[in-house]
Amino acid sequence: MSTEALSPQQRAALTKTVRTRKWLADTARALLDENGWYGVTREDVAKASGFGLTTLSKHFPTKRGLVIAAYAPLVLPLIEKTRNTPSLPGPVLTTFIRELAEICAAHPALAVALLPVARDARVQNNTDESAYDLTLRELAELIVLPLSGLRDEKLPVEVAEYHLLGLLSWIENHPEIPGTTAAELALSQLNLL
């Protein structure tokens, strides 16, 4: 439904929702960049943003959803660029992995949020179906697509997910190592170097 079909009150409510979500995500990102995944709670974000925990929970029921929304402006352009590049699979894939590794190394909380261990969705049903939400599986599917063109057999998404999980785990466990090192490791495991 387009915004023209909405009443002025509905447009105002939608604008308020978008602004609130952006403010919460921006606040979370600032706190996460300063304190990391384990140093920030949802309560911290609510307090720092000036909203209550109820408002935060309405927009982001899980910490993972909040973190993904906080870093989505960095990752979504990379995903769109990868999806929309019809060039040779190898260079597109290696660029995607290198850029994702650099983003995650610069923002380790994002790496943790993308790890299945840190995902609230593994523990409970994920009710955060926002446009900001990314999953490890979606990122892995971006790896599979170009790899399928390089190999005779199709690489299962689970294999790409496993290698992506390794990349993210490496970044989480070695914050002092640059993202390029983690990317080279992942690319070598995928036989792309």
Percent of the chain whose predicted confidence (pLDDT) is above 70: 69
Please give the pLDDT value at position 173: 85
Domain range 3-189, CATH architecture: Orthogonal Bundle (1.10)
pLDDT per residue over 77-92, tens digit each?
Answer: 887 787 777 654 567 7
Do 43 and 53 meet the contact criterion of CB atoms below 8 Å apart?
yes
CA distance 162 to 142: 13
pLDDT per residue over 92-147, tens digit each?
Answer: 777 888 888 898 888 888 888 777 543 333 344 444 444 344 555 566 666 655 55
Helices (H) and strands (E) in the chain, counts: 9, 0
CA distance 3 to 114: 32
DSSP 16-76: HHHHHHHHHHHHHHHHHHHH-GGG--HHHHHHHHT--HHHHHHH-SSHHHHHHHHHHHHHH
Domain ranges of the chain: 3-189
